[in-house]
Amino acid sequence: MKVTIIDIGPGEEEEMILKCSSLDEKMVKFINYMKQGVEKLTVYRDGGMFFLEPGEVFYFESVEQKVFAYCRTEVYQTKNRLYELQDELSGLNFIRVSKSVILNLDKIKSLIPAFGGRYEALLKNGEKVIISRQYVNDLKEKLGV
């Protein structure tokens, strides 16, 4: 892939031109990412407000009508609902893997088949997340397997 960067003068509008032979899923993700920009997520812990890059989050989980963001070692609460996060993160490498979990695919170390058509994802921080059988095909498709 060739990358060309051109300096623009004051008052000129920034522009990105994308040339590709086909608009595949990778390109669509890239376009969505560029359109969306790198917005930070607002999360809460111990009475404080924190701002996280989406890539810092390993997974989001809904527990008793509260949504938590699990990072490498910390857990934060977010005021967003899972469906809102799913929409917000759609251009990034996040996928719904159960009714209560959205997983960051970049944080998966390995996938292991589990009982009943489910899978178990071992994450890079050592945690395990169960992928419901209803979501396994979506996961395989997103991973290109």
CATH number of the domain encompassing residue 83: 2.40.50.1020
Contacts 24+ apart (CB under 8 A), 59-64: 59/101, 59/102, 59/103, 59/104, 59/107, 59/123, 59/127, 59/129, 60/85, 60/101, 60/102, 61/100, 61/101, 62/99, 62/100, 62/101, 63/100
Residues 73-90: what's their mean pLDDT? 92
The answer to whether position 30 is within a domain reads: no
| Structure letter (DSSP) for residue 75 | E
The answer to whether position 15 is within a domain reads: no
pLDDT score at 134:
95
More confident residue, 117 or 61: 61
Residues 124-137: what's their mean pLDDT? 94
pLDDT score at 35:
63
The answer to whether position 6 is within a domain reads: no
Distance CA(3)–CA(31), nearest Å, equals 15
The answer to whether position 22 is within a domain reads: no
The answer to whether position 139 is within a domain reads: yes
pLDDT score at 20:
81
The answer to whether position 27 is within a domain reads: no
More confident residue, 120 or 25: 120
Which of 71, 94, 73 is CA-nearest to residue 82? 94
Q: Which residues span the domain enclosing 96?
A: 37-143
More confident residue, 47 or 143: 47
The answer to whether position 14 is within a domain reads: no
The answer to whether position 100 is within a domain reads: yes
pLDDT score at 68:
98
* Counted domains in the chain: 1
29, 19 contact by CB (below 8 A): no
Q: State percent of the chain over pLDDT 90.
A: 57
pLDDT score at 38:
53
Which of 76, 54, 128 is CA-nearest to residue 98? 128
pTM of the model: 0.73
Residues 118-122: what's their mean pLDDT? 94
pLDDT, one tens digit per residue, over 15-54 is 878 888 887 777 776 776 666 555 788 999 999 999 999 9
